[in-house]
Chains A and B, each alone.
Chain A
Amino acid sequence: MRRFEELFFKTLMILATFIILGSLMMILFAVLKRGLPAMNLDMITKIPSGGFYIGKEGGLLNAIAGSLFIVIGATVLGLLISIPIVIYINIYLPPKSFLANITRLSSDVLFGIPSIVYGAFGFTLMVYLGIRASLFGGILAVTLLITPILIRSMDEVAKLIPKDLKDAALSLGATRYEIIKVILKQISPGITTAILLSVGRAIGDAASVLFTAGYTDSIPTSLSQPAATLPLAIFFQLSSPIPEVQDRAYAAALILTVIVLVLSLTARYYSRKFSKNKI
């Protein structure tokens, strides 16, 4: 009887794991199956031309460029905010400091806030500042979205820096400001992983840019112009009744999935490589 129960549950467990992995396969297969036939060079090299939305020529370059601009801008801004915070709570504050722990807790909590809320907040902020839906607005909302991720994943690595390393540099007479260089070098693989993770999250998120970045058929040339994004390109084109336009949504989904796959595998490779070198 005990044997049977064990066997029964073990079978269920393996089944559950297969269902989960099977869903992943199904998702990738569905995107490949519909995306590949719709994919061509025009998709990634041209912007929509006249009649694009009734199935005529053009591509998705506007969305690809918009997504890239927003993600690059947001990552740079996010790093400018998060690196000092990570440094501060790991170097300047004593271990087990209350402020450090509450900062970690708060970035964990902010990480869980849905992107639609960041989008809505970004929107109210823009109304308050008198900005229209634009590249800048999108960057603002996405920065809010990814900063907690950046803080958390860099902090994981920064926490592991041996105390001796700090002490050695400090005992040579360096100020804490001067040992930042040493610390940054130590956590650089962590910074890379953090960037890859947050870029993956930022590039795929639709709800945060929906209100804030707007949508356009051209490539934005300044911060105050609206910007198209890949997730929104998928979302808008999928709701079109015309099959050719829907196909473009699938092509966009394929592009986005490939980007995200590459990012997450690279992040994994980096964090593995780093943990091998850990003391």
Chain B
Amino acid sequence: MSLADHTRYRIFKDILARNIMFGLTVFSLLLAVIIGLGLYFKSAPILNEHSLWSMLSSSSWRPFKGEFGFYPFIMGTLWVTIIAIVIALPLCLLSGIYLSEYAHPFIKRLVDPMIDILAGIPPVVYGVWGVLVVVPFIGDKIAPHFVEYSAGYSVLAGGIVLAIMIVPLIISILTEIFASVPKELRDASLSVGATKWQTIKFVILRKSTPGIFAAVVLAISRAFGETIAVLMVCGNISQVPHSVFDSGYPLPALIANNYGEMMSLPLYDSALMLAALILFVIILIFNAVSRIILVRIERRFAL
């Protein structure tokens, strides 16, 4: 092989590699579209049969009669998610501020790995904890003060388990957001006589509002899609919960619980795929919005 040929061969390899890699990159971009389309095609049969709105607003879930009302499951998901956010957000704000503003580096070095571990614990283990600890605690200790009877398998149990699951996600975003507030702003506030807490309250929190919003939206979408842990502690009764001690049946749990039977009834699999599609679309939008906000923040302070 002459030198020129060899060079041509090297360039050819370079171009070939570039095209393959470009193809893979485009494929990864299209993946979201492919997933959406795939789920849509599977849920098309039921969408032809019933209107989307009537299914979302109907409460009757009787697959044997061909009635697929998603309303109780959507309410179940909402209850669990809202409870989780209400518990997790104050915890994370307080702890996040503490870790990034007050805590001694030694404490940070101690706490950070533990938050990492919390993030790494599998959902099913959270579920085991929920069954062993949270459910009996609610059933025996809390619920008797408020309602006549609750087995403990409730939207509250789901909310508590979920809250702890989303804590690492929110804290890691919050500490990054707080760290991105320029030091000059803090110094300016402190130099005019504000206390550290006043600086946090009036400068840092105010500057971080978009970031906190993005963190909450991300956490909501995480809570929305969590399946196994919630499935294990929520009770899974298809009803609209009226109190935190009622059982609920969130959408992901519905999909996971019925996969075995779904091939036996007409439209059943289609209904479950529609549930997956609804989850997918909502979470896709939520995620995209919050990621775009976070990228903007990162870019603003990177300069």
Contacts and interface: CB of A to CB of B under 8 A. Distances in A.
B59 to A, nearest CB: 23
Interface in B118-143: 118-129, 131-133
Contact of B120 (A26, A116, A260): A260
Interface in A83-121: 84-85, 87-89, 92, 99, 101-103, 105-110, 112-118, 120-121
Contact of B123 (A87, A175, A206): A206
Contacts of B98: 10, 13-14, 16-17
Interface string B84-126: 0000001110110111001100000001011111111111111
Contacts of A13: 94-95, 97-98, 102
- Specify which of A10, A123, A128, A250 lies most central, judged by the most chain B CB atoms within 10 Å of its CB: A123
Interface stretch (B45-53, B63-71, B194-202, B240-248): B194-202
A151 interface: yes
Contacts of A2: 195, 197-198
Question: In terms of DSSP, what is the predominant structure of the interface of chain B?
Answer: helix
Question: In terms of DSSP, what is the predominant structure of the interface of chain A?
Answer: helix
A113 B124 contact: no
Interface string A68-95: 0000000000000100110111001000
Contacts of A211: 259
A30 B132 contact: yes
Interface in B262-303: 272-273, 276, 279-280, 283-284, 286-288, 291-292, 295
A115 B283 contact: no
A266 to B, nearest CB: 11
Interface size class of B (residues with CB under 8 A): 35 or more
Nearest to A88: B21
B129 A92 contact: no
Contact of B116 (A99, A144, A268): A268
Interface in A1-28: 2-3, 5-6, 9-10, 12-17, 19-21, 23-24, 26-27
A19 to B, nearest CB: 6
A9 B90 CA distance: 12
Given A20-B118, A121-B276, A207-B227, A231 B94 contact: no
Interface of A: 2-3, 5-6, 9-10, 12-17, 19-21, 23-24, 26-27, 30-31, 34, 81, 84-85, 87-89, 92, 99, 101-103, 105-110, 112-118, 120-121, 123-125, 127-128, 144, 147, 151, 175-178, 180, 200-201, 203-207, 210-211, 231, 234-235, 238, 249-250, 253, 256-257, 260-261, 263-265, 268
